[in-house]
Structure 1
Amino acid sequence: YLNILKNVTYFFAQNRATKLLLEKHGVDQVSISGDTRFDRVAAIAKNKKELPLVKKFKADKKIMVVGSCWSEDIEVLLPFINASDMKFIIAPHEIEGGTISKLEKECMRDTIRYSKLEESTGDEDVLLVDNIGLLSSLYAYGEYAYVGGAFGAGLHNILEAATYGVPIFFGNKNYKKFNEAIELINLGGAVAIGSYTELRDQFTIFMEDTALQIAGQVNMDYVKDNTGATDKIFEYCQKLIKS
């Protein structure tokens, strides 16, 4: 593979670490473009789907959107959900195999499936998303986000939540290979937690409106400040075509 890489005219690296890695292996025609994922999530937020039924479910309550959660995440979240007066939108990573039914049984608050939302009485506290493809738009309806995966194979995409300017929580086991997770923790926009009590205690920091707004703005600015990689790569390709 290294021989193939060395025959490529030019490379764009996501960040300084990947640039140094390429240079270590003798690939020296490299510049840092940034990460195109930032451009993608910024575009998603700009063109988000309007979901009137979700807006109606939200009403005047604050919401935590739980995205791509696994059973390990649910173990931590359930006591928090059951003790909270907030509303929740839960979008499991897997919707087959009885995942939704298990959540309905274990949740002590009134639940409704997204597929049944038109039949809502307006009294439900927890929306269980039993379809796919909506998560990136659902984050727009939350004041907080919890992103799953870090208690298992690896943290899912937190940029989809960050672009909407909400504080983010996730598990503390497997997130350190994701640069954005480290940086957002350091900036104060994200928190890694290991248990229900940690989630409960850390959440209280963001209950006050000023703290909530500051953390949200940090995350939104982080995405905004890192966009532009797609344009850099496209401009270079145009130069190649013209030369």
Structure 2
Amino acid sequence: MSTHRFLYTLLMYLLSPLFVLRLLWRSRANPAYRQRLGERFGCVPATGRPCIWLHAVSVGETIAARPLIERLLVEYPQHPLLVTTTTPTGSDTVRRLFGGRVLHCYFPYDLPDALARFLTRMQPLLLVVMETEIWPNLYAACAQRNIPLMLANARLSGRSTRGYARLASLVRETLANASLIATRDPQDSQHFQQLGAKPEQVEVCGNIKFDLQVSSTVVEQGRQLRSQWGSQRQVCVAASTHQGEDEIILRVFARLREQCPDLLLVVVPRHPERFDAVATLCANSGLPTVRRSTGSAFSLDTAIIVGDSMGEMLLWYAAADVAFIGGSLVAHGGHNPLEAAAFGVPVVSGEHVHNFADIFPPLCQAGGAVLAQDETGLYAQLQEWLQDAAEQQQAGQAAKTFFQQNQRAVDCLIQAITTLMTTSRG
């Protein structure tokens, strides 16, 4: 073990009690955080036979990985597929999307003994890590056991690159243990190479989020919702909202209803622990509000629906005319606009979208999205689309075309995985 990794490991062990305390603290809002703690230390049941392991941190990464997971289930039916997550919401998403077709547990902490216990019991033939999870001990443990490790949909913003560069020696050593870094675009490849990855380790495969498959069932369910709400009503979805954004959305919505009295708003908070607070905020606005989770009937008088049920984001987009994507009016970094684009729904976001710097600029250039500087800009753009059906339709079609033209990542990733599996066996 190098000096850098030794010091990192020592720090991880010293901090491990704080990791547990943090879980307990978060469990005040979500009790699931204090459940299955042993899994985070590698205490998991043995699989009984070698598996393929895919790690997706939370909900967004799990949904993005869905087309790849479905392909892996088809291509490698002889091996169990293990999907790990870090958060309870990610865990719930795995169970909802895949049920008993995959194995699931929490991702272990980056501690040598936890990893050794986990790898011995799970016997992975290959590890696919979604996006950017650079864990020195995990990478080293996989290299020592000759387990190929691939970063899929790998991304590194300029800000993240500068942050990792502060630990240049440790990061360079860690990346050397990766078998392949499959990036979203050439800029991401350049950033990984700036951190020490070798050119032969890096391959541009595109963004897997473009490979989302739109189910005809969801499309039909969206139509049914529209008929329940009133087929002539326009629907605005405010997706993945964060604290500080809901108040803005409600003010904008109140102004929009002055011109569009039948307008319906669907608010979907990003985090489940905010469901109650957002529902109260909406109810206090004085407009008729219904919570999806209560099963209460929608009526023509319903003005606001709080989407407080997990796993229905695609359904809301299927029923939407326009969408606001949250985490962008506050300095969070934005969320994925491609799910809306897949349904031909034009998108407006705030300017804080650096987490999707590879998507928003070309999507905006194509005419499928607009970045609003502030509350005034958000109102102006939504009003324009709601009052001009032709412009709304044109923007929605531009978003859908952009989405369809960039679908290619899963084929590239499967080809890379096949190569790694063949090489490791041979």
TM over 0.5: yes
1:165 equivalenced with 2:344 (yes/no): yes
Identity %: 21
**TM-score scaled by structure 2?**
0.52
Relative to 1, partners in 2 of residues 1:112 and 1:181: Cα closer, same or farther, differing over 3 Å? same
Distance in 1 (CA, whole Å) between partners of 2:230 and 2:338 is 22
Match of 1:33 in 2: 205
Match of 2:33 in 1: none
- Residue by residue over 1:94-127, the C-alpha shift from the partner in whole angstroms, topping out at 9 and shown as x without a partner, is 4445321121112x43222223454334321221
In the alignment, is the contact (CA less than 8 A) between 2:291 and 2:306 conserved in 1? yes
Aligned residue pairs total 239
Match of 2:252 in 1: 80
CA drift at 1:186 = 2.3
In the TM superposition, what are the counterparts of 1:157-196 in structure 2 within 5 Å?
157-172=336-351, 174-178=352-356, 179-196=358-375
- Residue by residue over 1:130-169, the C-alpha shift from the partner in whole angstroms, topping out at 9 and shown as x without a partner, is 2221112211100100111111322122111111111111
In the alignment, is the contact (CA less than 8 A) between 1:45 and 1:164 conserved in 2? no
Match of 1:125 in 2: 303
In the alignment, is the contact (CA less than 8 A) between 1:146 and 1:170 conserved in 2? yes
Match of 1:219 in 2: 399
1:234 equivalenced with 2:406 (yes/no): no
CA drift at 1:205 = 3.3
CA drift at 1:68 = 1.1
CA drift at 1:65 = 0.8
CA drift at 1:46 = 5.3
Relative to 1, partners in 2 of residues 1:23 and 1:130: Cα closer, same or farther, differing over 3 Å? closer
Distance in 1 (CA, whole Å) between partners of 2:355 and 2:421 is 36
The counterpart of 1:209, out of the listed 376, 385, 389, is 389
Distance in 2 (CA, whole Å) between partners of 1:116 and 1:96 is 12
Distance in 2 (CA, whole Å) between partners of 1:58 and 1:90 is 18
Residue 186 of structure 1 aligns with an amino acid whose one-letter code is: Q
Match of 1:93 in 2: 270
CA-atom RMSD, angstroms?
2.3
CA drift at 1:237 = 2.4
1:104 equivalenced with 2:283 (yes/no): yes
Residue 250 of structure 2 aligns with an amino acid whose one-letter code is: L
Match of 1:17 in 2: 187
1:66 equivalenced with 2:238 (yes/no): yes
Distance in 2 (CA, whole Å) between partners of 1:232 and 1:26 is 20
Distance in 2 (CA, whole Å) between partners of 1:92 and 1:58 is 24
What SS class does the counterpart of residue 311 from structure 2 fall into?
Answer: coil
Deviates more, 1:155-164 or 1:180-189: 180-189
Residue 281 of structure 2 aligns with an amino acid whose one-letter code is: K
Distance in 2 (CA, whole Å) between partners of 1:239 and 1:128 is 46
Residue 122 of structure 1 aligns with an amino acid whose one-letter code is: L
Residue 27 of structure 1 aligns with an amino acid whose one-letter code is: K
Residue 129 of structure 1 aligns with an amino acid whose one-letter code is: G
Unaligned runs of 5+ in 2: 1-170
Distance in 1 (CA, whole Å) between partners of 2:176 and 2:293 is 52
**TM-score scaled by structure 1?**
0.86
Distance in 1 (CA, whole Å) between partners of 2:298 and 2:216 is 29
Deviates more, 1:192-201 or 1:26-35: 192-201
In the alignment, is the contact (CA less than 8 A) between 2:269 and 2:275 conserved in 1? no
Relative to 1, partners in 2 of residues 1:37 and 1:56: Cα closer, same or farther, differing over 3 Å? same
In the TM superposition, what are the counterparts of 1:50-65 in structure 2 within 5 Å?
50=221, 52-53=224-225, 55-65=227-237
Distance in 1 (CA, whole Å) between partners of 2:241 and 2:230 is 20
Relative to 1, partners in 2 of residues 1:242 and 1:82: Cα closer, same or farther, differing over 3 Å? same
Larger Rg: 2
The counterpart of 2:334, out of the listed 143, 147, 155, is 155
What SS class does the counterpart of residue 213 from structure 1 fall into?
Answer: helix
Residue 69 of structure 1 aligns with an amino acid whose one-letter code is: T
Distance in 1 (CA, whole Å) between partners of 2:305 and 2:324 is 14
Residue 251 of structure 2 aligns with an amino acid whose one-letter code is: P
Residue 218 of structure 1 aligns with an amino acid whose one-letter code is: A
Distance in 2 (CA, whole Å) between partners of 1:99 and 1:204 is 23
CA drift at 1:43 = 1.4
1:138 equivalenced with 2:308 (yes/no): no
Distance in 2 (CA, whole Å) between partners of 1:158 and 1:121 is 29
Match of 1:2 in 2: 172
Unaligned runs of 5+ in 1: none
In the alignment, is the contact (CA less than 8 A) between 1:36 and 1:229 conserved in 2? yes
